[in-house]
């Protein structure tokens, strides 16, 4: 199987878009401060992890789909500090993303990449 499953494509581009948007959104807040706080680093690292997960998922790297699921799982956990609505939304997104990245087609797609050595 050489054709990328549609779900993998959608999730990959979604992670890239969310990461870029999040980075731009949070950098504007950091830029206006006169000093850089250590917790500001997370506003850069977390979105870059999403971008990396998206790019490397599209490039057929198996570890990247695990990073995407871990990234989304962390957001489910973080939303417990927000509201139950945020938990429900993030959990639903988590399930959709996990399904898209681990359904039969996606597993075959990433397994064939490992066998081919990509």
Note the pLDDT tens digit of each residue in 2-21.
689 999 999 999 999 999 99
Average pLDDT, the chain: 90
Whether residue 101 lies inside any domain: the answer is yes
Q: What is the pLDDT of residues 23-58, one digit of tens each?
A: 988 887 766 666 667 777 788 899 999 999 999 999
- CA atoms of 50 and 67, how far apart (whole Å): 8
Q: Which domain holds residue 90?
A: 6-116
Whether residue 1 lies inside any domain: the answer is no
**Based on the structure, what is the number of domains in the chain?**
1
Whether residue 50 lies inside any domain: the answer is yes
The answer to whether the beta carbons of residues 51 and 17 sit under 8 Å apart is no
The answer to whether the beta carbons of residues 37 and 31 sit under 8 Å apart is no
- CA atoms of 2 and 103, how far apart (whole Å): 16
Whether residue 81 lies inside any domain: the answer is yes
């Amino acid at each position: 199987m050489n054709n990328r499953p549609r779900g993998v494509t959608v999730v990959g581009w979604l992670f890239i878009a969310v990461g870029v948007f999040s980075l731009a959104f949070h950098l504007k807040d950091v830029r206006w401060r006169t000093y850089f706080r250590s917790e500001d680093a997370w506003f850069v690292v977390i979105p870059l992890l999403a971008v990396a997960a998206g790019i490397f998922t599209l490039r057929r790297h198996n570890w990247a789909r695990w990073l995407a699921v871990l990234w989304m799982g962390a957001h489910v956990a973080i939303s417990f500090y927000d509201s139950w609505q945020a938990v429900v939304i993030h959990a639903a997104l988590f399930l959709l993303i996990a399904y898209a990245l681990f359904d039969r087609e996606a597993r075959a797609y990433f397994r064939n990449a490992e066998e081919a050595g990509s």
